[in-house]
Amino acid sequence: MTTKALGGLLRKEIYHVLRDRRTLAVITLMPIVQVIIFGYAIRTDVDHVRLAIVDPAPDAATLELRSRFGATDTFRVTATLPAAHDLEPLFRRGLVQGAVLIEPGFGDNLGRGLPADVLIVTDATEPNTGSVVQAYVLQVIQAYERERGATSSAVRLVPSVRMRFNPTRESSNLFVPGLMAFVLTIISSLMTAITITREKETGTMETLLVSPLRPWQIIVGKVAPYLAIGFVSVLGVIVEARLVFNVPLRGSLVLLLAEGLLFILVSLSLGILISARTSSQRVAMMGAMVGTMLPTMLLSGFIFPIESMPWPLRAISNTVPARWFVVVARAIMLKGIGLSYLWRETLVLAVMASVLLVLSTRSFRERLE
């Protein structure tokens, strides 16, 4: 009897979801578009630096130095100026990111063994770009200097750099695990919170309650369609990442999906908790946005490094479920490691899931009685 009723509720919910085309379109399109955006747009590499060179008195030595900047792929020399005062407008318009100012008599000084002055100016509006540009320019100058001074006594420290787990630093590799967390949060927490609150707001929750359905069945019925959408979206993200960006899956798919389920459980409980505590869709939306979606985006380490944040934010980030899931998903996909390394994160997620589940069912029941 009640299983049939549950079937009926499920069918009704599925109709609801399918009928609202716009929301459905956004939910399904968002992950797909975001994979593309994150893959191509969210990058921090600095290359093709637009460089200006100020060379008031060109001589053989300065020409040689200048040609070195032209020869590397790192730089694009966009302006060569005779005087420094023309530099400022270029910077202010953002036409150049860095400049090398060579003093007059550079070649002479170099030949006589006097220090030859070079000034590096960077546009440090974006500080990382500023210091990276400085490092690049310095490298070129130092290489030039080494070759000039054959009897060089300069010390060289030659680093060999290994980029572990993601040698080409493909940004899509980093974002796909985070995007999974993001999609699951939106669908499990936000949509769940809104759909249950809507039932309350329109007064139809009362109707459902006097039906033979048990409270848990109502929740299952409301939540199940979104769960299905969430799972499909996640699979879609993985497939797209694989096809378009060649994102690896080095670890076990089963473990990844199991951890995903655990995370869904956490997010769902959060969604139910929010809906139990609020009575209007607007408040539920705000609560879900501020409580789940923004933290997932900002404090999960999905885009921005957590280590760089001040301690209050780092402390808060520990309470964000997505932070743990992102670590797990990344580790499974990129490092191919298993539970022996990830038990800590898994444990945290499991504890969160059980606590939230108890809390949410309790507060849901309280509200009903």
Q: Minimal distance in Å, beta carbon 138 to another protein?
A: 6
166 belongs to the binding site for another protein (CB under 8 A): yes
Considering the complex, state which of residue 1 and residue 161 has its C-beta at the smaller distance from another protein: 161
Beta carbon nearer to another protein, 3 or 308 = 308
Enter the tokens of residue 315: 């402390």
Instruction: Identify residue 232 by its one-letter amino acid code.
Output: V
Closest distance between another protein and the C-beta of residue 136, in Å? 8
Q: Kindly state the smallest distance separating residue 197's Cβ from another protein, in Å.
A: 10
Q: Which CB sits closer to another protein, 333 or 352? A: 333
Between CA 3 and CA 74 the distance in angstroms is 66
Q: How far apart are CA 168 and CA 159, in angstroms?
A: 18
Quick one: which of 70, 57, 50 has its CA closest to 117?
57
Residues in contact with another protein, total (CB under 8 A)? Answer: 107
Q: Is 163 in the site for another protein (CB under 8 A)?
A: yes
Q: To the nearest whole angstrom, how small is the minimum distance from the Cβ of residue 40 to another protein?
A: 4
Q: At 75, is the secondary structure helix, strand, or coil?
A: strand
Smallest gap from Cβ 109 to another protein, in A, equals 9
Our finding on whether 46 is near another protein (CB under 8 A) is yes
Distance CA 128, CA 132 (A): 6
Cβ atoms 175, 254 nearer than 8 A: no
Q: Which stretch binds another protein (CB under 8 A): 43-51, 212-220, 264-272, 348-356?
A: 43-51
**Residues between 99 and 138 that touch another protein (CB under 8 A):** 110, 112-132, 134-135, 138
Give dist(CA 335, CA 168) in Å, integer: 14
- Of the listed pieces 157-165, 204-212, 258-266, 268-276, which binds another protein according to CB under 8 A? 157-165
The one-letter code for the residue type at 345 is E
Measured distance CA(367)–CA(206) in Å, rounded = 11
